[in-house]
Structure 1
Amino acid sequence: MKKELSAEQHLTLIEVLKDRFEKNQNRHNDVEWNKVQAKLEANKQKMWSLNEMERTGGEPDVVSFDKKTDEYIFYDCSTESPKGRRSFCYDRQALESRKEHKPENNVIDVATAMEIELLTEEQYRALQQFGNFDTKTSSWIETPPEIRKLGGAIFADFRYENVFVYHNGADSYYAARGFRGSLRI
């Protein structure tokens, strides 16, 4: 698969990201768009990943800047779990363990193909500082190896003014559960 954008796709994505950036200043108070855009222009491969986040309904936006690594951090900021990334079980092992009614794919393989990382529990909780996300859906989050080793996986949502982190069998999948990712540029 060709992992680069056409000039037109690139310009369109820059416009979408700039518009979202300007409309959601609370997510990045001390960040200047021109500096973000310069990083984007210098990282064509990362633009492809951002486009995949956008294409699948993630609505990526800058949520912080890491001074140590000189990187902007983007999260999926769609109000609900990204529509194009729902109904997947957690990983390949879980997918292969299902004997029938297999989902189309799994979260880990899709995130890897998009070249993004799953949000951790800490990142998911940080996202909720910018608004109420996943009030009707839920999102798989990075599962600690000790839980995954026992057959489980974790997901989170926002209900009753709180973030809840739950467990499920890694082979489960639901129409209202997707996953959120992060990308450093």
Structure 2
Amino acid sequence: MTNSKVNPLAPEQREELLRALKARFEKNMNRHDGLEWAKVQEKLEASTEKLWSLNEMDRTGGEPDVVGYDHKTDEYIFYDCSVESPKGRRSICYDHEALESRKAHKPDNSAMNMAATMGIELLTEEQYRELQKLGHFDTKTSSWIKTPSEIRKLGGAIFADYRYGSIFVYHNGAESYYGARGFRGSLRV
């Protein structure tokens, strides 16, 4: 997923983002055991568009960090690693269709619209479960996750959180939105 409207970051924004990503990388080595920051930075510096997307993830409170490396595609995998669902992405419904279906009290946006604009993907259920192996996330909030088309066709969408020492995946009407529900994204660089 790419955003053709991406504006390159100003040099000072770029440097600030790289410093923040490096500090987060070094502080949370358990998320990316065996990976080297220098190689990640080299990839990042070669991709203005991906840097812009990571900046959007960070700007909206996602605290993106490297969670893996795909040897087949030679890509580093970033997930939103904020303890709770990113603050700048809450109170939104699931997708554009759900947003348009609301007659009153529409939220400002939807998870799928925001993700597309940011150039990222919503975490799948599998990815969400992988994230939870790295810590406890969404203990007070919840996050929309990529919904299978069969569920979405019936008007539903799924979200997940971590409570009582377990990961819970629930369903809701796709048009619903709550102050404590946002979404987490992933990006390959």
TM-score interval w.r.t. the shorter chain? Answer: over 0.9
Paired residue secondary structure (2:9): coil
Report the equivalent of 1:76.
80
| TM-aligned CA deviation for residue 132 of structure 1 | 0.3
Match of residue 92, structure 1, among 96, 105, 112: 96
Cα distance in 2, alignment partners of residues 65 and 83 from structure 1: 27
In the TM superposition, structure 1's runs of 4+ consecutive aligned residues that sit over 2 Å from their partners are none
| Deviation of 1:30 (Å) | 1.0
- Contact 2:92-2:107 within 8 A present in 1 as well: yes
Q: CA deviation at 1:2?
A: 4.7
Corresponding residue of 1:59: 63
Q: List per-residue Cα deviations over 1:102-148 (Å, max 9, x = no partner).
A: 00001111000000000000000000011000000000000000000
Instruction: Kindly indicate whether the alpha-carbon contact (under 8 Å) linking 2:93 and 2:110 is maintained by their aligned counterparts in 1.
Output: yes
Letter in 1 for 2:93: C
Amino acid at match of 2:105: H
RMSD, aligned α-carbons? 0.6
Q: How far did 1:4 drift?
A: 1.2
Q: 2:118 aligns with which of 114, 118, 140?
A: 114
Q: Which residue of 2 aligns with 1:125?
A: 129
Residue 178 (structure 2) aligns with: 174
The one-letter amino acid of 1:12's match is E
Counterpart-to-counterpart distance in 2, 1:103 and 1:44? 31
- The alignment's TM-score, normalised by the length of structure 1, stands at 0.99
Match of 1:15 among 2, 19, 27: 19
Task: Please say if residues 6 and 52 of structure 2, whose CA atoms lie closer than 8 Å, have aligned partners that are also in contact.
Answer: no
1:45 to 49, 60, 65: 49
Q: Which residue of 2 aligns with 1:134?
A: 138
1 CA distance for matches of 2:20 and 2:149? 36
Quote the Cα distance in structure 2 between the aligned partners of 1:116 and 1:151. 23
Q: How far apart are residue 3 of structure 1 and its match?
A: 2.2
Aligned to 1:147: 151
Normalised by the length of structure 2, the TM-score is 0.97
Distance in 1 (alpha carbons) for counterparts of 2:188 and 2:61: 18
CA contact (8 A) 2:6 2:49 kept: no
5+ unaligned residues in a row in structure 2: which ranges? none
Residue aligning to 2:108: 104
Task: Report whether the alignment pairs 1:34 with 2:38.
Answer: yes
Do 2:142 and 2:160's aligned partners in 1 also have CA atoms closer than 8 Å? yes
- Which amino acid in the other structure matches residue 56 of structure 1? T
Paired residue secondary structure (1:127): helix
Determine the C-alpha separation between the residues in 2 that align with 1:16 and 1:4. 18
- Where structure 1 has 5 or more consecutive residues not aligned to the other structure, the ranges are none
Distance 1:132 1:3 in 2: 34
